[in-house]
Structure 1
């Protein structure tokens, strides 16, 4: 079926119009049923102003339908192809070009259509792509000839084009035509041999001497950056019909390439058999493939943090710097415009920073506070002129400290670079720290991040970085299992743990606990940490299930043990959960009753009163730091299992667990966040792409989702390294060229308000422009409207005369189409009546009222007695022959249709119709009077609103307009 839909710009809804193309009429004409035949595409014939539709069916049938006359104009199918046909290959000098007089092969009799496009500006030629890889140009210029002349002209109406001579070819999936003086360019996706390289083919077609003499003059193949998704042709002059200057190609996932027509033409002129053309890449805000993103993190800086103000000033300066750079160098990408979202406000409760590391060693930082990310810094891997080994090694780990605004960058060569986002006058040196000592180098002064220190201590990749002790310390975890503690203030190394055979696996998670007291003596027990400054424990979990607790002062191991999951599997992550609140206390957990097993989860609670097997384990006394450890829980996430332990008991050597959950699917990534001050949530991402939310510490399932349902993504293996999350429930993922942000909390919308999204159209500003333009200069002055705003409004309204004329023609065309498709087929008013009307005359009968019009008549109507004997025709027309003959509530079209159906022309029926018409006019006049009063009152109210808005606009900055 073919229906007509209309988009209402005021209601912003799509409506189904009454018109449709009757399938039964087409079935009778072609002699076959179309009940189970799909419509491939519907095209408006350009020369008919949208009144004629070309309908292409899946079975190879094409029907040209005239909606104004409700009739079939032309039918084309393979039975209409005559003996003579021309086969054109893709290259002009190829020996396969041939002209054949043979009949069509049997398998070509039922060719399935896969794509359709016009190949002329007037709609006289259509190009059709088929499932078997063929392309055919059909001449439809015979549509307006008499039937006998159409048969004579069918001998040369089809030209067949092939891109490959292979027996098995790809279907012609996409066809686009760009016309020129002698023919045009045909953009084709498909048609090549199955298994060949995926390309978009651009053909130069010349049929200036008629379609029977069609020639393929040139051809190029455009290499695609990914799987083809779609393409479109745009013109730099939107008012020039048929012109196309830019080719946009969209590949999956998310790569948008631009090809300029001049560049394509120059490449085609080279007449190379396999010519290629480089695209203008879309300037992706967050590059993910060029260069390749290797790791990322998302950090939140709250308003109560001391560095909040300094970070706010950095972000504002970066936005102004970006605007100035665009003004100085210009924007090469042709798509510009739109309305920016709300500007960054200092009173916003949080600042979000997105940081990404790349394969070339560079790092980029974005302001992620609002949905429209803005680039803040692009940090290159080179550090002045200092030779630090492999400076372009891929970034493998990132660390950020909101308290000090320090950034740590670790790479696969084992080098750690320390940057300060705030640069003071004292930051003029760089410390290069190696195993052999420290070198101090002078650095150049400038804006942006300052590299304060470079640490090259191990030849093992950096796998984890964590700032501790309010940014005073930096913990580094390496691939071979070693851990280093760095002092930030002095750019020195506090310790590097020794390499042991049982701890040679990669560090996957680290967590540091420090005390805040003021004494200084070596650590002898865990309780002594509360008596020493900057002392504490670093908890380390390696991939091979090994747990280590390290003294932050000496680097000695306070605990070293191998955890034992039910099924041997790699460790995904480790989470230390603060158990200081009653809901999370370990004592409360151990006293609870066992949980019932659910699907895929087996809960088990065991008593923690068993004897500690390791007698040499460190004991925890009743101190402040000891209480922190006693109330903390440690959650170990494996690929197949979750286990929750008391941190105190693990350090003391116990392998008992509080909760254990066997996972049905293999887990690949986890994170935790707080819903409120007490309730914590664990997020699990499985290798299947499923997402699961569990409560903490009960580990009960709270909800389920998937990447497929949210983003239509499948989880790729390399995606896990770039997944990052924040403490407020936001997760950022990367797939190909696409970066997606998802939020697991409803309240997150309070931070990412809809008003902060950029948009293409400012409805408030447009309404104000219309209202202000309608005010006279005296009204503007009297009402207090801003003169600046009035000038802006005039600039918006001012335009090229030709453009205004084209817009008027376009508007009239839409109105004509709306009227054409406002009635079902075969129920339109007679064309003769419409044609005789002045197109510019306005009649009250043409006015459409929103409410349905109900025709009424006076209470008493005198009827000529001479008409009483002719009630039969009246009954046919008015469906009523009573004494008063009151008309029923019917529309004018129903009365006209009934009148045409009866075929009566007597004066009495005409008089009744005229009487109902008069009543209809009276009803309309009354409604129009009421509407006019409403519009006048509404105009006054809207003018006052526009004046108020103009006052508010004076306070907005230029980039907010």
Structure 2
């Protein structure tokens, strides 16, 4: 009926009927990771992962195959994505500077605010509904989401770059774009690190309205040198560099490299990584004329042309002494080098003056890099060691590494033998590649569906994976629907998909949370048939006889009889010259 209406729009429709233009077609369910995925964020309390895309979609993934899809009315990339932790709201900033608020419970866009200038930095204060916004003109503003009114409210607190920089006593041009904002850990958001386009770093006290520390400005940084001891525990030498007089250079990325917020890691466009000690009060240091070293440099490659340091992440050690951890880096290598993710194990005893690089490891990526995120352990505080590392690559793949393996990574002849684990998905679409699908109704007599479920129950598929070192799977959030809880003894609909490797998967699709029932391999032990591994090209299911026919690109047809006892099953192989029935145990 819909096909006729679609192709015969020019014909007059009966009075009172809806036309195609009145149809509101919506995606009800979506499984897997979108091909255009580009950004990750995580709620450590509700244990939910959000994945933003280049075309205005947001995928929400929790535990037990619970997934949701949010579709923005604007098909634009997201440049920022943040949860309001444990509050059921997700904030997204699109490329046209539209700040969106999504209600996760009802899966709806509940508010949007069009910002007048280009947003260049965005940060939510942990545990609150407050957020900092930095723009291209150097203005830092504060917003609050009022859940009762359902609105984003601009607070009467905004500071232009000129005010902050003049407060530090630094002559600076009026135009200074903010490129990064980081609330300082353990300050409840009252102190915030602001990074400007020219490399200037200022730690600002919001309540007191004054500068706490200044770093990165050439006239205020002494020419004293600081070095990093790049020796591993086994004595192997790594690249050793020293910090000399630093010129202004553009900041690409930054992150805190300590739980207390005393050390800041900054990545630059020329491939350098500087670790700044901002624990000392700048005004006192300037008055005393101190010559203590406030910065050391890490350099991953020695070439003259290096990749910008795009992303930096910090995973502290399990110890509570705040004296080391793993710095994860994307970028900084020589131009044209293999795309890798670098993990540096750093340690210091008395501030960054004693910084040592214990080891370096390079992880090969499966696809081109898009984003990465460290997932903390359940119940951990904001800056505990990571339970897992999720690396997003194109097209639409999430590679998973056990966080317990990061502190023990060591290179052997420049190679690390740590394979990324596959992100468990309810419906595989890429690995293996899906080729044909079908959704079918089961006869409502109850007998067929119960036998089908009884038979599939013998397969026993696990739904809660563990990582390589035995770490518990970190995503547990999401609430199953009431229909899923109630319907556990019958199947009204099944979803069938065929794959490029010849296998077929069948799910119970009675409710939105699909449950895998069967995995039918293309090959049968003890049976050799020409073309049996060919890509599945056609599926047909008969709900009366409960027979499934599978055709592949080699012209082979397999017929599975799904109705029967749990202890027996069979399939038929049909070719041009013969018809064979074989047991499938």
**Normalising by structure 1, what TM-score?**
0.41
Deviation at 1:174, TM superposition (A): 1.0
**Given the alignment of the two structures, is residue 174 of structure 1 paired with residue 174 of structure 2, yes or no?**
no
**Given the alignment of the two structures, is residue 262 of structure 1 paired with residue 404 of structure 2, yes or no?**
yes
Task: Give distance in 2, aligned partners of 1:275 and 1:384.
Answer: 36
Of 265, 274, 279, which residue of structure 2 is paired with 1:127? 265
Is this contact kept in 1: 2:558–2:574, CA < 8 A? no
Question: In structure 2, do the counterparts of structure 1 residues 431 and 406 end up closer, same or farther at CA, with 3 Å as the change threshold?
Answer: closer
Of 379, 383, 388, which residue of structure 2 is paired with 1:242? 383
Is this contact kept in 2: 1:142–1:150, CA < 8 A? no
Q: Please give the per-residue CA displacement for 1:1-27, whole angstroms capped at 9, x wherever unaligned.
A: 111222345555443322223433124
Aligned to 1:151: 289
Aligned to 1:227: 368
Deviation at 1:201, TM superposition (A): 0.9
Is this contact kept in 1: 2:341–2:364, CA < 8 A? yes
Task: Give distance in 1, aligned partners of 2:257 and 2:570.
Answer: 67
Task: Give distance in 2, aligned partners of 1:388 and 1:440.
Answer: 12
Deviation at 1:53, TM superposition (A): 1.1
Deviation at 1:321, TM superposition (A): 6.5
Is this contact kept in 1: 2:192–2:205, CA < 8 A? yes
Aligned pairs, how many? Answer: 430
Deviation at 1:88, TM superposition (A): 4.9
Task: Give distance in 1, aligned partners of 2:544 and 2:211.
Answer: 75
Aligned to 1:60: 199
Aligned to 1:81: 221
Question: In structure 2, do the counterparts of structure 1 residues 261 and 440 end up closer, same or farther at CA, with 3 Å as the change threshold?
Answer: closer
Q: Please give the per-residue CA displacement for 1:301-321, whole angstroms capped at 9, x wherever unaligned.
A: 3xxx85674554367558966
Task: Give distance in 2, aligned partners of 1:325 and 1:210.
Answer: 47
Is this contact kept in 1: 2:378–2:474, CA < 8 A? no
Aligned to 1:614: none
Aligned to 1:382: 523
Question: In structure 2, do the counterparts of structure 1 residues 185 and 133 end up closer, same or farther at CA, with 3 Å as the change threshold?
Answer: same
Q: Secondary structure at the match of 1:141?
A: coil
Aligned to 1:165: 302
In proportion to residue count, which structure has more helix? 1
Q: Which has the higher contact order (CA 8 A, sep 6+)?
A: 2
**Given the alignment of the two structures, is residue 299 of structure 1 paired with residue 436 of structure 2, yes or no?**
no
Aligned to 2:240: 97
Task: Give distance in 2, aligned partners of 1:123 and 1:403.
Answer: 66
Task: Give distance in 2, aligned partners of 1:110 and 1:426.
Answer: 73
Deviation at 1:54, TM superposition (A): 0.9
Aligned to 2:355: 214
Aligned to 2:140: 2
Is this contact kept in 1: 2:186–2:260, CA < 8 A? yes
Q: Please give the per-residue CA displacement for 1:847-879, whole angstroms capped at 9, x wherever unaligned.
A: xxxxxxxxxxxxxxxxxxxxxxxxxxxxxxxxx
Task: Give distance in 1, aligned partners of 2:349 and 2:371.
Answer: 29
**Given the alignment of the two structures, is residue 201 of structure 1 paired with residue 334 of structure 2, yes or no?**
no
**Normalising by structure 2, what TM-score?**
0.65
Residue pairs, 1:841-920, within 5 angstroms: none
Is this contact kept in 1: 2:195–2:202, CA < 8 A? yes
Q: Please give the per-residue CA displacement for 1:76-101, whole angstroms capped at 9, x wherever unaligned.
A: 22413322334659775447424476
**Given the alignment of the two structures, is residue 43 of structure 1 paired with residue 182 of structure 2, yes or no?**
yes
**Given the alignment of the two structures, is residue 356 of structure 1 paired with residue 493 of structure 2, yes or no?**
no
Deviation at 1:288, TM superposition (A): 2.2
Task: Give distance in 2, aligned partners of 1:76 and 1:428.
Answer: 71
Question: In structure 2, do the counterparts of structure 1 residues 187 and 87 end up closer, same or farther at CA, with 3 Å as the change threshold?
Answer: same
Aligned to 2:475: 335
Show structure 2 runs of 5+ residues with no match: 1-138
Task: Give distance in 1, aligned partners of 2:242 and 2:452.
Answer: 68
Is this contact kept in 1: 2:204–2:211, CA < 8 A? yes
Task: Give distance in 2, aligned partners of 1:24 and 1:428.
Answer: 77
Task: Give distance in 2, aligned partners of 1:256 and 1:415.
Answer: 34
Deviation at 1:384, TM superposition (A): 5.0
Show structure 1 runs of 5+ residues with no match: 447-961
Q: Please give the per-residue CA displacement for 1:812-840, whole angstroms capped at 9, x wherever unaligned.
A: xxxxxxxxxxxxxxxxxxxxxxxxxxxxx
Aligned to 2:156: 18
Residue pairs, 1:455-470, within 5 angstroms: none
Kindly report the root-mean-square deviation, in angstroms, between the aligned alpha carbons of the 2 structures. Answer: 3.5
Deviation at 1:172, TM superposition (A): 1.1
**Bigger Rg, structure 1 or 2:** 1
Task: Give distance in 1, aligned partners of 2:573 and 2:458.
Answer: 31
Q: Please give the per-residue CA displacement for 1:500-527, whole angstroms capped at 9, x wherever unaligned.
A: xxxxxxxxxxxxxxxxxxxxxxxxxxxx
Task: Give distance in 1, aligned partners of 2:297 and 2:566.
Answer: 75
**Given the alignment of the two structures, is residue 396 of structure 1 paired with residue 537 of structure 2, yes or no?**
yes
